[in-house]
Structure 1
Amino acid sequence: MRAVINSERIVNYLIWVFFVLVFLSGSTILVYIIPTFPLFLIFVFLIEMILVAKMLRVIRKINRIKGVQKNLHIKANANIDLLDIENYN
């Protein structure tokens, strides 16, 4: 999760740097926005896709851990039930 948060900070920082550079350029604002904005959107989209992939990987790990815990719980219950049946007989 820490990597996801850090990459979000980097993306936010890059967005601010982009807009500061564009608006500091003054009279050449349209010259910078028109050619670079589509490239900028593609760049942001790629970073978002990387973030989504990382988040999905983390979610899969969490679900895998939950599944293992559930399986251990079921096995423990099955063993207890078998012991109870043996003691009952």
Structure 2
Amino acid sequence: MNNIILFIYLVVLLAVPALVGLWHIWQLYIWPFVVPREDLQMLAHQVLFKYGANAFEQTQELQRQAWIKGNIKEQGVWRRVGRLL
């Protein structure tokens, strides 16, 4: 009986970090791919037009600000925009 309870506690304790990790993978890598490439190219052109040679650095800054705000999807979007530049 005690082994079953210990096993359940162990599964619950290991499942929570695993689910959080999967959620972050979903938000950072998979969900941003739902954003159409045309929208990303439009954002890249806007950043390039506004900041010129410093456009890549600006996308990194916007990605960092999204990370600070805790907006993982936006962080992934800016990562993709930076790759386009």
Q: Which range, TM-score by smaller chain? A: 0.3 to 0.5
Q: TM-score, normalised by structure 2?
A: 0.39
Q: TM-score, normalised by structure 1?
A: 0.37
Higher alpha-carbon Rg: 1
